[in-house]
């Protein structure tokens, strides 16, 4: 049994989502349809699929796209609609419990709550199973509360700290308590565990011992899971960014350790296709125990304490937190690249 199947079998509410747009290539697994119960996207993951739509859209309806930005947006939405249609049978069969597609708001608006609410409402209107993805910035959490109150399903993303997780859970709880009844609703909090590990490794390189980065990541999984479990609203922890490794040869094994630690919990896992295909050939790792003395030592490191203490960051620090800034820059680059490609196909 590979680690992904072990995860789904380990808890009745555990899930695995595909990180990126499904395509015609079959994933090297006999579990394809049964295993993946959702899809998550962002500007990077939509870039290639949306780029393929640009020439057709520009040729069919040139008057509809007076600018490259409008054409790029239409291409993204066309891909999202196709993915939502592909996941709709799962959505309908589970009464809205599964089959969701995460569509991220523009990274341009990450610090503008009003713009994110407006875009979120528009994205949610694309399909019943569209889940709007907003960042765990200060403005993003304001937007999350307003969108939840409107009944918009949500993925609060780019969380790498306990401060963000606590605030996200509180915002979702407040919004969900006011949402209209009668429509399927759920939310996930995306914890980018590998991004946190990378930040720890880069900041405290000289102070770390072998295995310390992995220990911090597992400590953080514990903490984020506890914060989400305390929510009143139906929220799950989504574990992603399983990319950091202490050595190339250990890459898949290190990731399997993170997956093993999530086993037996109501956690959503999402992984890019190359990682998924590698994990299909691995046996599950046994869960690890964390040593109390090691945890105490690591919590004395500045960035570890900032990440794992629930009140460690104020508003400016949340928005300036390095993993948040780096992710936004990556998403902005992909967003702008699609616009550049759209400009090339316009007459």
Which residues are catalytically annotated? 133
Give the span between the Cα atoms of 214 and 197, in whole angstroms.
7
Burial label, 181 (beta-carbon count in 10 A; 0-12, 13-18, 19+): exposed
SS3 240: strand
Length of the chain in terms of residues written: 347
Q: Are strands 154-159 and 267-271 parallel, antiparallel or unpaired?
A: unpaired
Query: Token pair of 285, please?
Result: 């790792």
Q: Are strands 267-271 and 235-240 parallel, antiparallel or unpaired?
A: parallel
Where are the strands (E) in 4-153, listed by range? 15-19, 36-40, 100-104, 130-135
14-44 b/e (C-beta count within 10 Å ≥ 16 → b): bbbbbbbbbeeeebebeeeeebbbbbbbbbb
**Sequence-separated (6 or more) residues with CB below 8 Å from residue 60:** none
**How far from chain centre, in Å, is Cα 259?**
15
Please check whether residue 139 is in contact with residue 116, taking contact to mean a CB–CB distance below 8 angstroms: yes
| CB atoms near residue 251 (< 10 Å) | 16
Give the span between the Cα atoms of 307 and 330, in whole angstroms.
21
């Amino acid at each position: 049994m590979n680690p992904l199947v072990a995860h789904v079998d380990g808890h009745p509410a555990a899930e695995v989502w595909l990180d990126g747009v499904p395509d015609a290539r079959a994933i090297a697994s006999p579990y394809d349809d049964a295993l993946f119960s959702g899809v998550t996207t962002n500007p990077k993951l939509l870039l290639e699929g949306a780029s393929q739509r640009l020439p057709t859209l520009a040729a069919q309806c040139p008057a509809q796209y007076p600018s490259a930005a409008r054409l790029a947006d239409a291409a993204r939405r066309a891909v999202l609609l196709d993915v939502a249609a592909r996941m709709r049978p799962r959505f309908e069969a589970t009464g809205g419990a599964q089959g969701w597609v995460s569509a991220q708001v523009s990274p341009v608006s990450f610090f503008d709550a009003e713009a994110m609410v407006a875009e979120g409402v528009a994205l949610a209107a694309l399909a019943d199973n569209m889940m709007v993805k907003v960042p765990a910035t200060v403005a993003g959490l304001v937007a999350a509360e307003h969108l939840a109150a409107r009944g918009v399903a949500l993925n609060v993303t780019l969380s790498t700290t306990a401060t963000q997780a606590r605030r996200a859970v509180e915002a979702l709880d407040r919004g969900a308590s006011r949402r209209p009844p009668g429509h399927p609703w759920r939310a996930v909090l995306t914890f980018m565990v590998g991004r946190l590990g990378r930040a720890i490794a880069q900041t405290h390189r000289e102070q770390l011992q072998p295995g310390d980065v992995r220990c911090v990541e597992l400590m953080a999984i514990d903490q984020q899971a506890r914060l989400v479990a305390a929510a009143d609203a139906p929220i799950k922890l989504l574990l992603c960014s399983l990319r950091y490794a202490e050595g190339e040869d250990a890459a898949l094994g290190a990731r399997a350790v993170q997956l093993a630690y999530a086993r037996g919990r109501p956690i959503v896992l999402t992984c890019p296709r190359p990682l998924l295909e590698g994990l299909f050939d691995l046996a599950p790792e046994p869960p690890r125990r964390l040593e109390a003395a090691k945890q105490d030592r690591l919590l004395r490191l500045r960035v570890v304490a900032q990440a794992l203490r629930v009140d460690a960051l104020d508003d400016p620090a949340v928005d300036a937190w390095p993993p948040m800034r780096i992710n936004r820059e990556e998403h902005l680059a992909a967003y702008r690249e699609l616009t550049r490609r759209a400009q090339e196909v316009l007459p």
